[in-house]
Amino acid sequence: MADTALSVHTDNLSVRFAGAPALDRLDLRLAPGKIHGLLGRNGSGKSTLAAVLAGFRQPDEGQVLIEGAGLGTPMAPYENAVVTSRICLIRESGDVADSLQVRHALALAASLRPYWNADLAGELLDRFEVPTNKRMQKLSRGKKSALGAVLGLASRAPLTIFDETYLGMDVPSRRAFYDALLADYAEVPRTIVLSTHLVNEVSTLLEDVVILDNGRLVTQSPVDSLRGRGAAVVGPAKVVDEFTAGFTVLAEEKLGGTKSITVLGDFDPTLLAQAASAGLEVGPVGLQELFVHLTAPTPKGTRS
Ligand SMILES: Nc1ncnc2c1ncn2[C@@H]1O[C@H](COP(=O)(O)OP(=O)(O)OP(=O)(O)O)[C@@H](O)[C@H]1O
């Protein structure tokens, strides 16, 4: 793992724009060799964090340290080519000159990226049907996005960050991207960060999640323990209503006489047994529902 994955550690990390905090005293730990979700509403600081982790921007306060993949001691990425050669950040804006032909952009990536895999790049270009003889500026938004996916995956960088890049692709292409990402990650485990607000779509890929809101860290947690913070209770409407009275409700849905209510709360074995004897099914809470709750502008109501 140490050869192909980096870990990230931030202390009191802050970035300000004209005095306003975009990142506010973040203490983060990204474990090596995992797929991390970086979730947050618009303007929450995801892109700023991605840029700082990739060494594109210096923190105003605090520090970022990157460790592993043969680096020896932990190092700050800013203006440090030894570290940044091991990090690939793919942004929607694109960081390669638009006037370049796709094949030249690929040749440039191959020359700059020590872990580049040309076979994988070729395979993915075919799969996403990205023409290599066109100038980047002539590509459709979806194909530009797909090219970003190819550049990010084929870089096989020990820390690979996709900052919402793949969102320009249509649904079938995004699915193909998720499949390709999982398959190649299984072959070469590395640290991957997916910044997104399409939480449901990526929730099965993610192992750990960082949620930002207004530049602050709302939570950092394994997905499984986040899902354990609540439950979806399903059964006859009246019984579900009675059982969930007093819990904070995240979502509810009714279909005929059946109702599903998602609530926050610790469902210990006693509570689970009570639900079962009342004829109710209890499942894990959806990541999307928790995300909406944790980043909502105003707290949701309590059932009474
Ligand atoms: N170059 C900049 N100059 C001034 N303010 C900026 C700049 N970049 C970001 N900001 C501000 O910093 C805050 C965080 O922005 P950032 O782009 O990191 O959020 P985000 O979560 O990536 O948002 P989105 O999902 O909309 O892309 C926002 O308030 C934004 O307006």
The protein residue with its alpha carbon nearest to ligand 1, atom 5, reads 17
Reported ipTM exceeds the 0.90 cut: yes
Residues 157 and 270 in one domain: no
Minimum-distance ligand 1 atom for the alpha carbon of 195: 22
Handedness of CA 154, 157, 158, 164 (dihedral sign): negative
Task: Kindly state whether residues 187 and 258 are assigned to the same domain.
Answer: no
- Looking at the fold, whether 251 and 198 belong to one and the same domain comes out as no
- Can you give the pTM of this predicted structure? 0.89
* 163/199 same-domain check: yes
- Clarify whether residues 244 and 131 are in a common domain: no
Q: What CATH number did the domain enclosing 255 receive?
A: 3.30.70
In a domain, 266, yes or no: yes
Q: Report the domain count for the chain.
A: 2
Q: Which domain holds residue 49?
A: 6-222
Mutation probe of ligand 1 site: the residue of 23, 47, 60, 214 with most atoms within 8 A of C-beta: 47
Same-domain pairing of 142 and 273: no
- Whether 240 and 152 map to the same domain: the answer is no
Tell me the sheet residues that pair with 30.
8
Res. 228 pLDDT band, cuts 50 70 90:
confident
pLDDT digits (tens, 9 = 90+) for 176-210: 999 999 999 999 999 999 998 888 888 889 999 99
Share of the chain above pLDDT 90, in %: 70
- Is 160 a domain residue? yes
Residue 101, φ and ψ in degrees, nearest 5 = -75, 155
pLDDT recorded at residue 63: 97
Identify the pLDDT of residue 304.
41
pLDDT at 70 over 50: yes
Q: Which atom of ligand 1 is nearest to the CA of 18?
A: 4
CA 269 / ligand 1 centre spacing (Å): 43
Determine which residue's CA is closest to atom 26 belonging to ligand 1: 42
Q: Which two tokens stand for residue 79?
A: 């203006």
Residue 21 Cα, ligand 1 centroid: separation in angstroms? 10
Q: Is the pLDDT of residue 300 over 80?
A: no
Residue 211 lies in a domain: yes
Give phi and psi for 229, each to the nearest 5: -80, -5
**Higher pLDDT residue, 294 or 151?**
151
> Ligand 1 centre from 58 Cα, in Å?
15
Contacts of 275 (CB under 8 A, 6+ apart): 233, 243, 267, 281, 282
The pairing of strands 230-236 and 249-255 is unpaired
pLDDT at 269 over 70: yes
Angstrom distance (rounded) from CA 228 to CA 230: 5
Average pLDDT, the chain: 90
Question: Based on the domain organization, do 74 and 192 belong to the same domain?
Answer: yes
CA distance 218 to 122: 40
Statement to judge: residues 244 and 271 lie in one domain:
yes
75: which DSSP letter? B
Any idea what the CATH number is for the domain that residue 164 is in? 3.40.50.300
Residues with CB under 6 A from ligand 1: 17, 22, 40, 42-48
The answer to whether residue 121 scores a pLDDT higher than 60 is yes
> 42: CA distance to ligand 1 center in Å?
8
Q: How far is the CA of 194 from the centre of ligand 1 (A)?
A: 17
**Which atom in ligand 1 lies closest to the alpha carbon of residue 49?**
18
Among residues 174, 203, 222, the one where a domain terminates is 222
For residues 213 and 243, state if they share a domain. Answer: no
User: Mean pLDDT throughout 64-89?
Assistant: 92
Per-residue pLDDT reduced to its tens digit, 241-264:
999 999 989 889 999 999 999 998
